[in-house]
Amino acid sequence: MPNCLTLKKSNCKNCYKCIRHCPVKSIKFSGNQAHIIGNECILCGHCFVVCPQNAKEVVDGTEKARVLLQSGDPVIVSLAPSFIANYDGVGIEAMRRALKKLGFADVEETAIGATIVKTEYERMMREEVRDVIITSCCHSVNLLVQKYFPSCIQYLADVMSPMQAHCSDIKQRIPNAKTVFIGPCVAKKDEAEYYEGIVDAVLTFEELTNWLKAEHIELEKEVDVTPESRARFFPTTGGVLKTMAENISGFTYIAIDGVENCINALKDIESGKVHNCFIEMSACIGSCINGPVMEKYHSSSNVKDYITIAGYAGKKDFDVVQPPHLNLKKNFSAIEHKLAQPVESEIMSVLRQMGKFKPSDELNCGSCGYNSCREKAIAIIQGKAEISMCLPFLKDKAESFSDAIVNNTPNGLIVLNEDLEVQQINKAACKIMNIRYASDVLGEPVVRILDPTLFLQVKNTGLSLHDQRAYLPEYKKYVEQTVIYASDSRMLIGILRDVTDLESEREKKLKNQQHTVEVADSVVEKQMRIVQEIASLLGETAAETKIALTKLKESLADE
C-alpha cells in the first residue's frame, strides 16, 4: 500500500465504490475489506474522494513538519498556486503572515518553480528534436506512464515538477534550508519520498487548516495581485500552455485532464497515431484546482475556481534565475506491477462459477467496479476480487436459494402488501386452499381466499402472531397460522401449517378415548349391578339361615 494512503478497515462496507472509480483498478478485496495495491496505484486519490465511509485516509505530515521546525534550520514553505482557490480571498502575503506564526521562516509560491519548468519546456521545444512531449508536472500521470505505458516513458519530459524545481531553487538560495510543500495532491507526498533530498515534507491544505485552527491562527482576507505571476495559471487545465511564450511551428499543443482521457491519449501515442505534439496532462479533471485533497472538493466548482485563479494570475513571468537544464533533469524508469495473465480455460472456469455460460450472460452491470465480466474474472484469478462481488450472481444465488426453500417447504407461504393484496404465494399454500395456479390470486385481495382478520390485526398492531389454530370451512382444512409484519419491506407474511391430519388424528383419539370411557363406565355399572345382586342374594340367604338357626335353637331348648 502506498505510504501516503491508509485504510480504516472497520469503516469499509464493501460498497465497491472505490474500485468503480479507480481508473487503473488497483484495489483488491479480501476478507471483506478493500486493500490498495501499492505497486499498481497511481495515487490519483479518487478512492479517497468517493469513499462514502471515509475508509481511506491520507497520512498526516504535520508531525514531520513540526520536527523540521524544531531542527533550528530555516524551514521554507512552497505553497501550491491552487491555494487561492482553496482559501477564498486570502493572498500570498496573508498566507505568509499566518505560516510565520506557526514557525516557518518564509513562504514562497510554487508558481516560481512553475516558471522555471515552463522555461525549460520552451528550451526543450527550441533546441531538441522531439516527436511527442508529455509534461511531467503531475506525479500521477508520471506513475500512470511508468506502470501502465512504459513504452511512452521516452515521451515524458525529463524535467522536475514545479514542486521539485522550486524546492531545489530554495535550497540553492538559502543555506541549510528545509522545504515543506503544501498543496491539494496526494501523489506529491509519494513524489517527495521517492526523490529524496529535495522536498523534506508535504502537507495538504486540510492538514494546514487543522494546524492553524489548533494554534488559533486566523487567515486574513487580503488579495495581493502582482503582474509578475503568470505561472499562477499552472493548476488549471491548459495552465502550462497558457504560460508558454511561444508555439513552435508544426507542433500541436493539447491540454488533457482526467485519468481516463490521459489513458486514451497514451494508447494513441503507444500505437503511433500521435506525432509532433506537446501534451499537457493532468490526472484530475480541472487539473490541480480539483485535486483530491482540496478542502472544498465536495462542493468545488471548476469554473468558479478557474475564475479565481485567472483573477490572481498576472501577465508576466516571475523574476527567476533559470538554473542550467542539466540541474532540472529527472529520470523515469518503468515500474513493474503486472500479474501473470491467466489462460483462457482459467477465465472460462471462473466465468462459469459466476453463472456466465455464454456471451449473453456477460452483460456487465458494473456493480463490482470492473468494466466487464471477463475483466472481473481475471481479477478473481489474480487474487484482486472475489466471486461474491458480482451482484447478479449474488442476486441469482439468493433468489435460487429462496425459491428452493419457498417452493419446497411443506408450509404454505403467502405474502401481502399493506393493502392486503397477494404478492406471492407458494405451491403448498395453493394446495391448502385448492388454488390451481398462483397467478389466479396474485394481486388480488386476500379476502378472496382467506379471512383477513389476523392480517389486519398484525398490520394495525405491528405485533406478529404465532401458531393461531383455525378451521377453514371452505377448504375443510385445519391450519396453524403465523402472521409476521416485515416493517422494512412493509409486507405481511403468512405461514400456514396444514394440521388437518393431526386434527383428524386428535379427534380420532378423542373418540377412542370417549368410547373407552363409555365402555369402562358400562363395565363398572354392570359390575356394580352384579355386586348389588350378589349382595341382595347373600342378604336373603343370611336372613333365612338366621331364621332356621333360631328355630333350631328354640327346638333344642324345648327338649
Model pLDDT, residue 298: 43
Distance, in Å, from the CA atom of 278 to the CA atom of 253, rounded to the nearest integer, reads: 5
Please give the Cα distance from 478 to 470 (Å, whole number). Answer: 6
Q: What percent of the chain has pLDDT over 70?
A: 93
> What are the domain boundaries of the chain?
1-59, 60-328, 340-375+385-408, 410-498
pLDDT at 339 over 90: no
The neighbour count for residue 525, using CB atoms within 10 Å, is 10
CA 279 remoteness from chain centre: 34
Query: What pLDDT digit, counting tens, does each position of 391-431 carry?
Result: 666 666 666 666 777 778 889 999 999 899 999 899 999 99
Looking at residue 1, what is its pLDDT? 39
Comparison of pLDDT for 404 and 40, the residue scoring more: 40
In the predicted structure, residue 553 carries a pLDDT above the cut 80? no
Average pLDDT over residues 314-342: 90
pLDDT for 537: 81
C-alpha cell at 45: 486519490
- At 552, list the grid cell: 333350631
Question: Closest by alpha carbon to 61, among 191, 242, 219, 254?
Answer: 191
pLDDT tens digit string along 158-183? 999 999 999 999 999 999 999 999 99
> Quick one: which of 242, 223, 215, 216 has its CA closest to 231?
242
Single out the residue of 119, 148, 171 nearest to residue 39, CA to CA. 148
Q: Which of 3.90.550.10, 3.40.50.150, 3.40.47.10, 3.30.450.20 is the CATH number of 410-498?
A: 3.30.450.20
CATH 1.10.3720.10 fits 1-59, yes or no: no
Enclosing H/E stretch for 5: strand 5-7
**Interval 129-135 mean pLDDT:** 95
Between 57 and 307, where is the model more confident? 307
Alpha-carbon distance of 188 to 180, in angstroms, equals 11
Mean pLDDT on 336-346 = 79
Q: Which residues pair with 134 in a beta bridge?
A: 156, 279
> What are the grid coordinates assigned to 284, written together?
484530475
pLDDT of residue 91: 95
- Residue 405 makes CB contacts below 8 A (sequence gap 6+) with none
Q: Distance between CA 285 and CA 291 in Å, rounded?
A: 8
CA dist 351 and 136 (Å) reads 40
Q: Name every residue whose Cβ is closer than 8 Å to that of residue 149 and which is 6 or more positions away in sequence.
A: 266, 267, 269, 270
Query: What residue type is assigned to position 524 of the chain?
Result: V
What's the CA gap between 262 and 139, in Å, rounded? 13
> Helix 373-381 to helix 344-353 angle, to the nearest 10 degrees?
110
Q: What is the DSSP letter of 133?
A: E
The residue written with cell numbers 369402562 in the block is 520
The residue with greater pLDDT, 373 or 450, is 450
Better pLDDT: 296 or 51:
51
Tell me: the pLDDT tens digits for 235-255?
999 999 999 987 888 899 999
- State pTM to two decimals: 0.72
Q: Which of 111, 119, 76, 110 is nearest to 328 (CA)?
A: 119
* Segment 218-223 mean pLDDT: 93
C-alpha to C-alpha distance for 419 and 429, rounded to whole angstroms: 20
pLDDT of amino acid 297: 46
Average pLDDT over residues 527-533: 83
